[in-house]
Structure 1
Amino acid sequence: MNILLVDDEQLELDQLEYMLQQSFHLQTFFKAQDVSEALTYAKANTVHLALIDIHLPGQSGFELVKWLKNTQSHVHIVMVTAYQSFDYAQKALRLKVDNFITKPVVESELITAIKPFTVNKNHSEIIQQVLDYIHNHFDARLTLGDIAEDIHVNHAYLSRKFNEELEVSFPHYLNQYRIEAAKRLMNEKPFLSIAEVSEQCGFNSQHYFSQLFKKELGVNPSAFRKRI
């Protein structure tokens, strides 16, 4: 699921992303500080959910809403603003915006506002067991073979079933989950070294962790930490 976050304040963008990641793991986030930057992403990707500030430099958030509604009719849009204006609310309704929240954004209100629009795929019991196992043991050495043995399922069958339901391989899902965990850990415990973050998130090699982190996010862990 691709989630577009648009706000002219970098701190607001980072805060929105952090709050959403707590409840919605493995979503793809793109952050933009103006309409032009947001359009660059939206023209090249499908946007499933967009959280858009009204007041942006240059064009307003409403202009972006119009473009998204005209080109990606399936998109769900939540407007975010510091101004509690009846006129803004009316305009948002006319544009068929799905929801409207005010700043400062409260995490519980944010989750409530977007939860109806997030994908909630029902997994089979066996795959849910695997996901629960990953989420509880991602910080340890972990292979699908280990899990298959632990839950008494054929390894080849489990691998095929995992790929079918998640549409990604087990190693890819595990690495993505570990990267998201590392991002949260760096935010919550800034005193930890990159080596400690790597180890606590289940990576055997700090070098591999840094390579994978940069491949996924475009910056290395140290640069990411400076932006938090």
Structure 2
Amino acid sequence: MSRKTILVVDDEPRTRQGIKKTLETWSSGRHDILDAESAAYSIEILKKQKVHLLISDICMPEMTGLEMLDTLKKQKQDPVVIILSAYSEFTYAQEAIRLGVHNYLLKPVNKIKLIEVVEGALEFESSRERIDMIQRVVDHKLVDLKLEAKKDDSPITKAIKYVDDNLSNHLSLNDVAKHVHLNSSYLSVLFKEQVNMTFSEYVTRSRLQLAKQLLINTDKTITNIAEEAGYGTSKYFIKLFKEHEGLTPSKYRKLIPFEG
């Protein structure tokens, strides 16, 4: 599991410091454990840095834990949340779960239960983060296009299928035009009209989509992925990938490590 930031929010110093110390001992330096004495202060912390797991008391002066969660949602902040609740506040804890809180702990907090719930929350956060990243991998324009292409048997549909089946090979407009029995100039115009992107743009996007899938779903080398995606040299592939994705294939892979 990668390094995470955990924020403990409670206006009671003894409870807050006790939870923080327990987590620091359990973490042994693997994660960053922060604390805040109020909901307002915790909101300021989240504005400045990413917090993966938020552990917060419900009843605090000035702003309650639930009010804080509502504010964070409005600010598009979405850490995994564990709520701390006394028995008398159990109804609030139930409401918090309806608001999307991952779990809750009853006070006084049991150390073993705390660690168990925190470990589960961090696993949930990692899996949610991976799913979010995989969603970003998908080129939705290509997906919609391929779904639409399945509905007919036009020359453009055949051209798309030919490209998809030959991404690892050399692909030229002339090759595809011959395959679908059209003049290359006419195919170029028709492709742009019906697909709403140029032939070369479609090939590039399809190859990069394949490369991204290979990066996150296999442990193949960058060189092998470049070849499989139809690029003669890994140097050119890395340059093109960075131009389109904003980072190198290696750094991209680290965002969503292969779980094979």
Instruction: Map 1:74-113 onto structure 2 (within 5 A).
Output: 87-88=98-99
Paired letter, 1:61: K
Contact 2:241 2:248 in 1 (8 A): yes
Q: Is the 8 Å Cα contact of residues 222 and 234 (structure 2) preserved in structure 1?
A: yes
Q: Deviations over 1:28-77 (max 9, x none)?
A: xxxxxx8999xxxxxxxxxxxxxxxxxx999433555xxxxxxxxxxxxx
* Partner residue of 1:197 out of 225, 232, 242: 225
Structure 1 letter corresponding to 2:243: K
Alignment check: 8 A CA contact 1:35 1:59 kept: no
Query: Per-residue displacement from partner, 1:106-163 (whole Å, max 9, x unpaired)?
Result: x8xxx9xxx9xx9567456221111111111111111121011012111111100111
Corresponding residue to 1:175 among 200, 204, 214: 204
Report the CA distance between 1:219 and its aligned residue.
Answer: 0.8
Residue 82 (structure 1) shift: 8.6
> How many Å apart are 1:165 and its aligned residue?
1.8
Which of 211, 217, 221 is matched with 2:239 structurally?
211
Establish whether residue 146 from structure 1 lines up as the match of residue 175 from structure 2: yes
Name stretches of at least 5 consecutive residues in structure 2 with no aligned partner: 5-45, 50-67, 83-93, 101-123
Give secondary structure in 1 for the equivalent of 2:176.
Answer: helix
Distance 1:187 1:209 in 2: 16
1:36-185 correspondence runs (5 A): 59-62=71-74, 64=76, 87-88=98-99, 122-123=148-149, 125-185=154-214
- 1:35–1:60 contact (8 Å) kept in structure 2: no
What CA RMSD, in Å, does the superposition of the two structures yield over aligned residues? 4.2
What's the secondary structure of 1:153's corresponding residue?
A: coil
Deviation at 1:209?
0.5
Q: 1:57/1:212 Cα in 2 relative to 1: closer, same or farther (>3 Å)?
A: farther
> CA separation of 1:151/1:119 partners in 2, compared to 1, >3 Å: closer, same or farther?
closer
Distance 1:195 1:61, change over 3 A: same
Counterparts of 2:71 and 2:196 in 1: how far apart (Å)? 38
Matched residues in 1 for 2:168 and 2:236: separation?
15
Larger RCO of the pair (alpha carbons < 8 Å, separation 6+): 1
Report the TM-score when normalising by structure 1.
Answer: 0.50
Rg larger for: 2
How far apart in 2 are the matches of 1:223 and 1:208? 16
TM-score between the two structures when normalised by the length of structure 2: 0.45
Structure with the bigger percentage of helix: 2
Aligned residues: 145
Q: Percent identical across equivalent pairs?
A: 24
Instruction: Pick closer, same or farther for the CA change 1:143–1:223 going to 2, 3 Å.
Output: same
CA contact (8 A) 1:203 1:209 kept: yes
* Cα offset, 1:87, TM superposition: 4.5
Give structure 1 stretches of 5+ with no counterpart: 1-8, 10-33, 38-55, 65-78, 90-101
Please tell me the residue identity of whatever aligns with 1:170: F
CA contact (8 A) 2:167 2:228 kept: no
CA contact (8 A) 1:194 1:222 kept: yes
